[in-house]
Structure 1
Amino acid sequence: MRAAIGVWRWRHNPLRRTTDLIEAWVAVTAVLLLVLAAPAAGWIAGTGTDASLQRAVRAQNLQRLPTTAQVVRLSDVPAPGLRSPESTAEQPARRSVVARWTAPDGASRTGTVATRRDLADPGDTFRLWTDRDGRPVPAPMRPETAHAHAIVVGLLATALAAVFVEAVRRLVVRRLVHRRYRRLDRAWAKAGPDWGRTGAGS
C-alpha cells in the first residue's frame, strides 16, 4: 500500500528507480482488482450457481412427489439412505423401517426406508418422497438451501480471486527485488576493486 501511495510522490523524485515505479503501479492495480474484480468474480460465480441450483430445485419438485407412508415394523437391514458414509451423522436420529405407501399410479408399495426415531413405531405415519414410479427418493432441495450453497460458492470465488491477485502481486514484486539485486551486484562489481582506495592516498 505504501508503494501505491508512492506513485504520486515519486513522480519527480531523482532517486526513483524504474522498478520502484513498476512496483507502485502493480500495487495500485492489485488494490483495484481486490476491490472490484474479486467481488465481481464472486458475484458472477454465486449468481450462476444459484440459477443452476434453482433450476435443479424446480426439476426435483416436478420429478419427486410427496406421499404418506405408514410404518409396518422395524427393519433388520439399513435403509438405502443410511448405508452411505455421508449419512453417518444422521444415523442416530433416524431408524430403518418397513413401510407401506401408495405410488403415484395408485399401487400399494412396501419397502425399507428411513424415518425419524419418533416416527418408527408400527402404525406411525410420515411424509415420504417418491419418484413417478413410486420408488423412495430424497426430498427435493429447498430454495433457501440452494441460496445458501450459492452464497458459499460466491464467497469462495471471491476469496480465491483475492488470493490469486495477491499471489501474482507478490511474484511480480519478488522478481523486481531480484532484478534490483542483480543491478546492485553489477554496480558493486564495477566499483568494488576501487573501494577504500580512491582518495585515500594509496
Structure 2
Amino acid sequence: MRAATGVWRWRHNPLRRPTDLIEAWVALTAVVLLALAVPAAGWISGARTDASLQRAVQTQIEQRQPTTARVVRLAATPAPSLQSPESGGEQQLRRAVVARWTAPDGTPRTGTVAMRRELAEPGATFTLWTDPGGRQVTPPMRPETAHAHAMIVGLFTASLAAVFVEATRRLVVRRLVHRRYEHLDRAWAKAGPDWGRTGAGS
C-alpha cells in the first residue's frame, strides 16, 4: 500500500526526481510479486513435487509387497542395514535376526534382517516388505509423507523467491541512491565555487 501511495505521490510532485519515481515503481512491483508471484511459485513447485512423489509412491506400492516373516534365531553378524557408520543410533533400537519368509513366487527365503529389539525373539512374526524377487526392501513411502515433503519444497521455493525479490529491490534501490549521490556531486561541483557570493550567477 505504501508503494502504491508513493507512486501516486510522485506522479506530479515538482520536487520529484526521476529516481524517486523509479524507486516507487520498483517498490510497487516488489509488493505485487511478493503478494502474487511468490505464493504462486511455491504452490506450483509444491504441486509438481507432490505429483512426482505420488507417482513414485504408486510405483513403490506396485513393486513392493508385504509378507509375514518369522524369526528363526538371533544373527551372529549385523544386518546389512546396520553395518553403515550412520546407523550407530539405530543399532541401539534394532537387532539383527535370521528370519524366514516366502517370496512373491512362493519360494521360501531366509536372510538376516534388522527388527525392533523387543520383538527379536525366536518364533516371533513380523511384516517384511520384499521386491518381486523376494529380497527385503524398505516399506513404500506413505502418501501423507509425500505430501509433507512436497509442502516443504513449496515453502522453501516460496522463501527463495521472496528473498530473490527483496534482494533485487534492495540492489536496485542501492543503485538509485548511488545515482542520486553522483548527480548531487556533479551539481555541487558546478555550483560550489559561486556558493555564497553576492550576485553569483547573475
Tell me which interval the TM-score lies in, with the shorter structure as reference length: over 0.9
- What is the SS of the residue equivalent to 1:141? coil
Write out per-residue CA displacement over residues 72-98 of structure 1, whole angstroms, 9 at most, x where no aligned residue: 222232222223455444332221111
Letter in 2 for 1:119: L
Alignment correspondent of 2:18: 18
Q: Distance in 1 between matches of 2:11 and 2:123?
A: 84
Indicate yes or no: 2:150 matched with 1:150.
yes
Q: Distance in 2 between matches of 1:40 and 1:129?
A: 39
Structure 1 residue 195: deviation in Å? 2.5
Letter in 2 for 1:45: S
Q: Distance in 2 between matches of 1:44 and 1:75?
A: 48
Write out per-residue CA displacement over residues 84-125 of structure 1, whole angstroms, 9 at most, x where no aligned residue: 455444332221111111111111111111111121111111
Preserved contact between residue 3 and residue 31 of structure 2 (Cα < 8 Å): no
Q: Which runs of 5+ in 2 are unaligned?
A: none
Structure 1 residue 2: deviation in Å? 4.1
Structure 1 residue 5: deviation in Å? 2.1
Q: Say which is worse superposed, 112-121 or 15-24, in terms of deviation.
A: 112-121
Letter in 2 for 1:79: A
Structure 1 residue 53: deviation in Å? 0.4
> After superposition, where does 1:33-72 map in structure 2 within 5 Å?
33-72=33-72
Letter in 2 for 1:116: R
Alignment correspondent of 1:28: 28
> After superposition, where does 1:1-202 map in structure 2 within 5 Å?
2-84=2-84, 87-198=87-198
Preserved contact between residue 3 and residue 23 of structure 1 (Cα < 8 Å): no
Q: Distance in 1 between matches of 2:83 and 2:194?
A: 81
Q: Which runs of 5+ in 1 are unaligned?
A: none
Structure 1 residue 169: deviation in Å? 0.6
Structure 1 residues 189, 85: closer, same or farther in 2, change over 3 A?
Answer: farther
Structure 1 residue 193: deviation in Å? 1.5
Residue-pair matches, total:
200
